[in-house]
A and B are shown apart, each in its own frame.
Chain A
């Protein structure tokens, strides 16, 4: 059982075909669902979608949100396509006759309230604000799905791989996370902790940002980060992403190292953050060796 999970996480870090192995492990663990466990689970948030897909027993999870099928934001887009897709509207959720709905605390609040009025059990998940909270979310999802054992196995494995990934940082290059609209993430965010785990110092912390917020461009310029890590562009054009082409950002890019992050591994507190740390760790090693 544990071996099964260890294999899956290593696999996860190499490729993204984790899903099949996870559900195989699930089948081995619980051949038939006990009576008091939810059997028709609907998830309506990108992060709960992925947690549920990782932990649910076969047939237990009925539907995930449409965001889970978008490869830009979801690490499990392929796997998500095998479920029914919902857009988080109360009407469609109700018609799925769920016996448990899992939702994020920031998403579709009106829908959640309505579902509660309709006497459908709703489990609301906070977003993960740090690498440690990935563990909490896995445990919570395990509890609501009645899959504690699977959750514990995944947590143990997450801890093991996280420990082996943490960079013994002698020199920590000063890096800035900079996204569309000039948004940055401080040290009390998941992205900030991924950055730190990969061996970087976060310049946003120097500027007094512990959570996320808009970092004025001139403050970024004055901080002179050694590495600039920006979000990957989405298709179509937007004013919001235009800031990544500003002459100041171009100068910073030309002067230092720069990397781009894939939203799918950074947005949600799932074991996929390990892949983000690993990718960023490569950048770190290149910088330190230079």
Chain B
């Protein structure tokens, strides 16, 4: 397992450095890293420290959050289709964030934006968990997710349409597809506290999720409190997904694809899947963000477009595999 951890981390580091050195402005890799570390008053240092560093850092944070949240939800519901973006948690978080921005809460309170996104995510995840039930059958989970996503997206559109600002109405695309373009260190700092707390909460779930693979009764016999497990999961997921959505919009499929790829590598053990998914989620978002910058730099391609192109076929594949359970 140590080798897997080192391997996954090494890949993430490579992508992180690549994300720092690639961009629409033609700057050599050595030159750019030197400007980042040594620093002077020139525009190069400004670009590296105020544009590329926050962007790459946020990609790691957002990716790790989504990967971790996906792995945790799938472990708890014992269902490979549970993913924050697909079941409406990200959408609800986006609604919370949009309300924070449009009411001015985001500007009047330092952490108003992520806090409102967290509340939105909390409502979304609570609703989904309540509707899907403790065993989380695929059918109810997906149907509940569709309903919550649709409602959250509609209300987000409504809030943006009611805004007096002519640009607001077009921002629905950002909230539904996500982007890391033009973020700054401010966004790193407002997301970090919520993500840090959420990561810590989700990281404690390993033992409980492992026990849960034996069934609820067995887990209870092993001294796992299911109530507490669920509460930690709900709060942790809302915290990381809320913060991620507040700064980057709703990015789907990361929490679906990453645990799916890693599950065979970790011997399908949920506790290992948690950390592995966090590391690999960071790599996936870094890779997607490099892709949007290289493919169409002037078009402001959204991150969710790339992750959906990768993730949606896999989602269909998973539905195909579990269709007997669905029927």
Cβ contact within 8 Å between B101 and A237: yes
The answer, yes or no, to whether A164 is at the interface (CB within 8 Å) is no
Partner among A214, A216, A234, A246 whose Cβ is within 8 Å of the Cβ of B25: A216
The answer, yes or no, to whether A247 is at the interface (CB within 8 Å) is yes
The answer, yes or no, to whether A13 is at the interface (CB within 8 Å) is no
Interface residues on chain A, number (Cβ under 8 Å): 27
Cβ contact within 8 Å between B167 and A180: yes
Cβ contact within 8 Å between B43 and A236: no
- In the complex, chain B residues whose CB is within 8 Å of the CB of A246: 50, 182, 184
Which of A98-157 touch B at CB < 8 Å?
A: none
Which of B286-318 touch A at CB < 8 Å?
A: 297-300
- In the complex, chain B residues whose CB is within 8 Å of the CB of A242: 182
> Which candidate, B116-124, B130-138, B168-176, B259-267, is the interface stretch facing chain A?
B168-176
The answer, yes or no, to whether A32 is at the interface (CB within 8 Å) is no
- In the complex, chain B residues whose CB is within 8 Å of the CB of A241: 165, 167
The answer, yes or no, to whether B196 is at the interface (CB within 8 Å) is no
Partner among A180, A218, A224, A236 whose Cβ is within 8 Å of the Cβ of B163: A236
Partner among B52, B104, B165, B168 whose Cβ is within 8 Å of the Cβ of A218: B52
Interface residues on chain B, number (Cβ under 8 Å): 34
User: Can you name the residue of chain A whose Cβ is closest to the Cβ of B47?
Assistant: A218
Which of A204-219 touch B at CB < 8 Å?
A: 213-219
Which of A246-274 touch B at CB < 8 Å?
A: 246-248, 251
Cβ contact within 8 Å between B25 and A222: yes
The answer, yes or no, to whether B39 is at the interface (CB within 8 Å) is no
Q: How far is the CA of A283 from the CA of B170 in the complex (A)?
A: 32
Cβ contact within 8 Å between B51 and A217: yes
What is the interface of chain A, defined by CB distance below 8 A to chain B?
180-182, 213-219, 221-222, 224, 234-243, 246-248, 251
What is the interface of chain B, defined by CB distance below 8 A to chain A?
23-25, 27, 43-44, 46-47, 50-52, 101-102, 104, 106-107, 163-168, 170-171, 174, 181-182, 184-186, 297-300
User: Given known contacts A182-B182, A222-B27, A240-B171, what 4 new A-B pairs fall within 8 Å (CB)?
Assistant: A181-B300, A182-B300, A222-B25, A239-B174
